[in-house]
Chain A
């Protein structure tokens, strides 16, 4: 009955936020060297135009000619969270079934030599992340929500 399976659990330390939205795979990636720094990374669906910059809006040194490690990590975590098939469909990547994994997806995109996208997306991704976090702050309610019967949990037993 459910169409979208719930997100699969994953560790959030490296990539605290990933989503398929605004026609992009986008998210927030922690810096490997500096605990105070995060990168805002994205890949556009269809063109695979990529972008990566820090929270201070400085371009990522690794993302000049191609996908940097942040973008690669972002793809990996997206595959963990959504499954390779859904990520591939969203980004319009054509990968044969047996190659539908992080590596297959990444190489299919890099082989097209995608261009660097403009960095204006970073601000939007940032605001999407804040919107996402705001979901932690809404007050729970004890009034019944009958509509949730359409969204049963899809637990371990299957």
Chain B
């Protein structure tokens, strides 16, 4: 691993992020009555994309917005410009990350003709969502109140039952909950300016019909070797993403792939309850816990390397230790290109194996010293219902993780570590309890989670009976 590439400056990065920050600052005060200072941020964004096909529309949008005369299409153009800029940041960073770990990216497939698959989503809900987002932009983060934020609830409620709108619904639900917790905006001490602008512009893009449609889908037949599980959650949603190496049965080039399963959830379902919710819908989680490979038969896979998991097309395979996979198969696997709408630094998650590093334990923060370079460890992303602890990370000799990028630097998120216990390597996996566990603490967590759901259903029954 060329760790020096991760700490070297990336050309143009600061300029791109400065333009993004300039625009993000505009959203703090809101666009209802734009001030001269906000016009500068808007113009900066327009300048940054002046050499792109977006130039004309964004310039017009910036001008209209600064004059307080913008409509929803103008806001959409601004969101698109911001997305494009961060897309370029993503591309530069991912090139760095993959060069550092010595991985190749598969050829970009020819652009697919539109209309790959899926029914048209109900456009009225997308319009309603966009309306709410534009109201937010007008109010600004300092202008939000409960009434405004609460406007998302009916839209989300209407969207959640539609599988085709799940992405936008999940995003809006998490975003609105976060805003609600920060109301009223006028009294906020710290505003997560870039984060909220990220969520806002992303949601704006997803209100375009078809923006989140999966790219071309092919079928995958062969062996799937899991590396680890990455868990995501907000109050009312959870997603588990298994990173794995796929070896085609036809002897073709191994690919890095992901398999995801997600669900809406009540906010009191946490910890092991998350695994319980997802487990019945993806047999791969059990395979991960048992340390086994899976055999896939015509499993749908997108050009981005996302398996659209179907239990009927997978069978449990031979034992496969993730660290062995990482040492033998990972270096030969190619990554897939990322769809344009998904190019964003926050989505960077490059599987990487680190060995022979020193651990720098600075109390709160842990970092690895890799080939002389400091690589911060993002230990907060490790699931609560799992055996991987901060101590295990701090005393590890090898780490299988995801290379991420946040707030100006590359980080590593541990998926598993190897420690030397009595001269033998012992692996601890963050997602070890995904499919269930015999671990004492794990069993307790499982029971608490089962009880929570049982109580919810029973109490609801009491209320409903009347």
Binding site for B on A (CB under 8 A): 1, 3-4, 6-13, 16-17, 19-23, 28, 30, 35-38, 55-56, 81, 86, 126, 129-133, 135-136, 138-158
Interface stretch among B36-44, B170-178, B325-333, B368-376?
A: B170-178
A residues less than 8 Å from B380 (CB atoms):
152, 154-155, 157-158
- Known contacts A147-B167, A153-B381, A157-B393, A133 near B266 by CB under 8 Å: yes
> Does chain A have a CB within 8 A of B110?
no
B residues less than 8 Å from A126 (CB atoms):
463
B residues less than 8 Å from A9 (CB atoms):
268, 270-271, 448, 452
Contact A138 B263 (CB under 8 A): yes
Report 25 cross-chain contacts, Cβ distance below 8 Å, ordered by A residue: A3-B178, A4-B181, A12-B268, A16-B455, A16-B459, A16-B460, A30-B459, A55-B463, A56-B466, A81-B267, A135-B265, A138-B161, A139-B263, A140-B277, A142-B261, A142-B262, A142-B281, A144-B241, A144-B262, A148-B234, A148-B237, A149-B346, A155-B381, A155-B382, A156-B382
CA distance A138 to B271 in the complex (A): 19
CA distance A71 to B371 in the complex (A): 58
B18 to chain A, nearest CB (A): 20
CA distance A48 to B163 in the complex (A): 40
A residues less than 8 Å from B277 (CB atoms):
140
CA distance A133 to B231 in the complex (A): 22
- Known contacts A6-B270, A135-B264, A22 near B232 by CB under 8 Å: no
Tell me the residues in window 344-376 of chain B with beta carbons closer than 8 Å to chain A beta carbons.
Answer: 346-347, 349
B residues less than 8 Å from A150 (CB atoms):
171, 174, 195, 198-199, 202, 346
A residues less than 8 Å from B192 (CB atoms):
1, 3
CA distance A112 to B387 in the complex (A): 47
Given contact pairs A28-B459, A133-B460, A150-B174, a sample of 17 additional A-B residue pairs in the complex whose CB atoms are under 8 Å apart: A1-B195, A1-B407, A3-B181, A4-B234, A6-B267, A12-B456, A22-B146, A129-B463, A135-B266, A140-B262, A141-B263, A143-B163, A147-B167, A149-B347, A155-B430, A157-B379, A157-B390
A residues less than 8 Å from B14 (CB atoms):
none
In the complex, residue of chain B having the shortest beta-carbon distance to the beta carbon of A35? B462
A residues less than 8 Å from B388 (CB atoms):
157
A146 to chain B, nearest CB (A): 5
Q: Identify A3's interface contact among B146, B195, B393, CB under 8 A.
A: B195
Binding site for A on B (CB under 8 A): 146, 150, 157, 160-161, 163, 166-167, 170-171, 174, 177-178, 180-182, 192, 195, 198-199, 202, 206, 214, 231-237, 239, 241, 258-271, 274, 277-278, 281-282, 302, 304, 306-310, 342, 346-347, 349, 379-386, 388-390, 393, 406-407, 413, 430, 448, 451-453, 455-457, 459-460, 462-464, 466
4 A-B pairs with least C-beta separation: A148-B232, A140-B263, A142-B309, A155-B384
A17 to chain B, nearest CB (A): 8
Contact B463 A38 (CB under 8 A): yes
A residues less than 8 Å from B278 (CB atoms):
140
Main secondary structure of the interface of A (DSSP, over half): loop
CA distance A157 to B430 in the complex (A): 10
Q: Identify B232's interface contact among A23, A37, A141, A153, CB under 8 A.
A: A153
B residues less than 8 Å from A16 (CB atoms):
455-456, 459-460
B191 to chain A, nearest CB (A): 9
In the complex, residue of chain B having the shortest beta-carbon distance to the beta carbon of A147? B171
Contact A143 B234 (CB under 8 A): no
- Known contacts A142-B260, A143-B308, A151-B232, A7 near B270 by CB under 8 Å: yes
B77 to chain A, nearest CB (A): 21
Contact A152 B264 (CB under 8 A): no
B178 to chain A, nearest CB (A): 5
- Known contacts A144-B258, A156-B382, A3 near B182 by CB under 8 Å: yes
A residues less than 8 Å from B269 (CB atoms):
136
A residues less than 8 Å from B236 (CB atoms):
135
CA distance A17 to B459 in the complex (A): 9
A63 to chain B, nearest CB (A): 19
Contact A148 B181 (CB under 8 A): no
A residues less than 8 Å from B166 (CB atoms):
141, 143, 145
B residues less than 8 Å from A38 (CB atoms):
459, 462-463
CA distance A136 to B278 in the complex (A): 11
CA distance A153 to B87 in the complex (A): 24
- Known contacts A6-B234, A12-B456, A126-B463, A144 near B260 by CB under 8 Å: yes
In the complex, residue of chain A having the shortest beta-carbon distance to the beta carbon of B190? A3
In the complex, residue of chain B having the shortest beta-carbon distance to the beta carbon of A40? B463
Contact B266 A156 (CB under 8 A): no
A residues less than 8 Å from B307 (CB atoms):
142
CA distance A12 to B457 in the complex (A): 11
B442 to chain A, nearest CB (A): 12
Q: Identify A136's interface contact among B214, B281, B457, CB under 8 A.
A: B457
CA distance A141 to B278 in the complex (A): 9
Contact B389 A157 (CB under 8 A): yes
A6 to chain B, nearest CB (A): 6
Contact A7 B459 (CB under 8 A): no
Contact A21 B180 (CB under 8 A): yes
CA distance A34 to B264 in the complex (A): 32
Contact B235 A145 (CB under 8 A): no
B residues less than 8 Å from A17 (CB atoms):
268, 456, 459
B residues less than 8 Å from A143 (CB atoms):
163, 166, 214, 260, 306, 308
Contact A4 B177 (CB under 8 A): yes
A residues less than 8 Å from B181 (CB atoms):
3-4, 20, 86
